[in-house]
Structure 1
Amino acid sequence: MLNLREIKGGIYEDEVLTRNIKDHPETIAYCQQVEDYIAEQLKTKLAKLEEVEDNDPYFEKKEGKESFFSNSKGKREAKRKKFTKPMYSYGNPIEATKGLTIATNDIWSAEVILKEVKFSGDDYTGKYEVTLWDHFGLDLPDMEKKFNIIPSIGEVFVCWFILQHLRGYKPFITKITFTREFMGNLQKGMTELDAEREKERKEKARELNEQIQIDIWTSPKF
């Protein structure tokens, strides 16, 4: 039986949740952006190692339809970073039924730490650690979402909101930590890596088109 008097927040971690987050396509796509950013930093700033490290937290903000990144002092980032965090939200109805949406939904913050880099000429291998944070709490925008018109959901959210904001029960903080390894070359930053992937995509499309043409010509004719 759940005793609400014992709920005082704290940090929640789970191996199954972490494994599923690590292997999720949204996470893999996010990590690709992380590795591209690391590659760009190493390519352009290796001579000044103190500039490779990026300690200033930044946030994605929106003004109308425009999205931009700002640093902790509210100043717009000139670098215009291309990524913030992975999300496992209700935008995809199929994904919403698999558990990660209710377990995490909108990641609160993400932290990436480059643990090691080993060089062999211009080639290198590295390892980085990703920590994702999410809090299992409600705020006013949550209460205004459209799905709250469903009676069973709306009632649960009202009780949840009252417990958190009027009764003093703290939501727990979900922590997800995993490491990844990667390879790169000091001559290749974001531009070069994007060009390589585009070339590979076009080559695969060409091969697929050729195979379709072969299948058409060799298929039985009636």
Structure 2
Amino acid sequence: MKKIIHRGNTRGFADHGWLQSFHTFSFAGYYDPERLHFGALRVLNDDTVKGGMGFGAHPHDNMEIVSIPLEGALEHKDNTGRHKIINQHDVQIMSAGSGIQHSEFNASRTEPVKFLQIWLFPKKKDIAPRYDQRAFDPASRQNQLQTVVSPDGQDGALTINQDAWFSLAAFDKDRSVRYTPKINGNGAYLFVLKGKVEAGGEVLENRDALGVSDYDELNITALEDAEFLLIDVPMLQ
């Protein structure tokens, strides 16, 4: 098993006043040649946006973009005329494909919104842009992995243009899971949202992350009540 640890306090950080953004991987003004990506996982931003503020219309292409609100709600608009509200417990995915423009604003005028924005390199380039979102019952991730994104969209998951799976979990103290890669050769990236876990022999706390590759099995145990995101992702060269 190969391991890489990204502690929460080693991430890049940008404070724009209206936006506080932590960058696990190199992004915008934060650059670390050792933290360009983990396989197909290119961006994992942990953002807080003040009420009434947000990202104006901007373009993307050939990137799979997943947004997960942790608190509050996001307002999405794009150049196809789509206008959606993405609430806590929703997951949104956008295949930018051949090109799309969108904006993301805090849906509240007064309360902050906290969300993860995650980018993956696509499996196929220049596809027609695609958008989807879905609400996921948090009770269905209690002491088990709840798959919210997958290549085929089975079992109610959102479909992604990559051989990748996203799973959310909320584990009680001392509960554990043994995880095996969905595809031989895929890696796993574990991001702790809350609490403390032990995984791969490492202790991870709030906003710490562990990436593993060349592995057969990853044991994850909650050392206290914990919530985490697990991304099963191809290991690109």
Bin of the TM-score, shorter chain as denominator length: under 0.3
Question: TM-score, length-normalised on structure 2?
Answer: 0.22
As a proportion of its length, which structure holds more helix? 1
Greater relative CO (CA pairs within 8 A, separation 6+): 1
Structure-1-length-normalised TM-score? 0.23
